[in-house]
Structure 1
Amino acid sequence: MKRLYLCLFILIITTPSLLAQKDQAAKKTEPQIRQYWFVMLTAGDNRSQDSATAQKIQEAHLANIGRLYNEGKLKVAGPFGDDGKWIGLFILDCATREEAEKLVKTDPAVAAGRLVYEIHPWYTVPTGSFEPGKPKSPLF
């Protein structure tokens, strides 16, 4: 009988601790949604540059993409493959819309008026490309 009471006592004492550990493990594995900034790039009004100037702007645009990526601010960038109104997109990792706009305005194609933009908050789980901070290897 003493053995039964001892077993019950141990069970009662250890159960809350085991449940607390289970709750902590569950909290650690739950993904945390994070906000990013989705930037839609569309054709701007100033696209009348000669081909050499347009090429220089494009090269500077790509260099800026590489810089923002290497700084850990740009998580995704790329063009669309059709002839629609949408030219490309950025997904930025920064705290505010104002910071996102400041980063977009560093783009030479935006500064030249070849591209215009819309900025929207966008949410996902920070895994893969969306992990916070600088990338492990540079883009360019």
Structure 2
Amino acid sequence: MKQFILPIFLFLFIWSCKDNAQTSDKPLKDIITEEVDNTEVEIEIEQSIKALKKELTEQGFQTFNYIDEKTQDTILMQQYFIAFLKRGTIRNQNEEEANRLQNEHLAHLSKMYELGYADISGPFGDDGDIRGITIYNVPTLKMADSLANADPMVKAGRLQIEIHPWWAAKGVSLR
């Protein structure tokens, strides 16, 4: 009996939360995992693009919608900030110091991810002057710059930061 109650409850909850205003926005779907009778069950939660856009705008994010010509779907675009981590001017640390800074750098990036400030980070696969990137999911350039410059590698001068506003479709993952 319990296995039927949760889906019915979720259907009624989603139905009661529907926005009655007419809009061409199609819902975005998130999947959450709940435990029902000691079994994990994936549940889709729908949030309209209109509601998500309102929420992001209230938090200070820049957004805009566009209609995909092929699918006629409404796509919500959000402004992110991409930080290029470039080779710094102070690279004379000994191996022990460089390793310590690298560990602190990785801990900083992990913290940014855990706090929801960064969505993805990673190094480049060559030995060029641009060493890696971090994409910050924050509302302002000032905030992204502050977070990027708090990196121990940047503070030590081993890396320098160059940040640019960057637009991407909200909720789209890498393939």
With the shorter chain as reference, the TM-score category is: 0.7 to 0.9
- Checking the alignment, whether the CA contact within 8 Å between 1:34 and 1:124 is kept in structure 2 is yes
* Unmatched segments (≥5 aa) in structure 1: 1-20, 131-140
After the TM superposition, which segments of 4 or more aligned residues of structure 1 sit over 6 Å from their partners? none
- RMSD across aligned C-alpha pairs, in angstroms? 1.8
Sequence identity, in percent?
A: 36
Alignment of 1:58-77 (within 5 A): 58-77=102-121
Instruction: For residue 129 of structure 1, report the CA deviation from its aligned partner.
Output: 5.6
In structure 1, C-alpha distance between the alignment counterparts of 2:134 and 2:97, rounded to whole Å: 23
Residue type of the alignment partner of 2:141: R
Instruction: Compute the TM-score of the two structures, normalised by the length of structure 2.
Output: 0.58
- Checking the alignment, whether the CA contact within 8 Å between 2:118 and 2:134 is kept in structure 1 is yes
Match of 1:27 among 18, 25, 40: 25
* Unmatched segments (≥5 aa) in structure 2: 1-19, 27-72
The structure with more strand, counted as a fraction of residues: 2
Instruction: Compute the TM-score of the two structures, normalised by the length of structure 1.
Output: 0.72
SS at match of 1:33: strand
Instruction: For residue 106 of structure 1, report the CA deviation from its aligned partner.
Output: 1.3
Evaluate the alpha carbon distance shift between residue 75 and residue 129 of structure 1 in structure 2; reply closer, same or farther with a 3 A threshold: farther
- Checking the alignment, whether the CA contact within 8 Å between 2:149 and 2:161 is kept in structure 1 is no
- Checking the alignment, whether the CA contact within 8 Å between 1:75 and 1:129 is kept in structure 2 is no
The alignment of Structure 1 onto Structure 2 pairs a total of residues equal to 108
Instruction: For residue 31 of structure 1, report the CA deviation from its aligned partner.
Output: 1.5
> Higher relative contact order at CA 8 Å, sep ≥6: structure 1 or structure 2?
1
The structure with more helix, counted as a fraction of residues: 1
Evaluate the alpha carbon distance shift between residue 104 and residue 90 of structure 1 in structure 2; reply closer, same or farther with a 3 A threshold: same
SS at match of 2:25: helix
Alignment of 1:39-118 (within 5 A): 39-118=83-162
Larger Rg, first or second structure (1 or 2):
1
SS at match of 1:27: coil
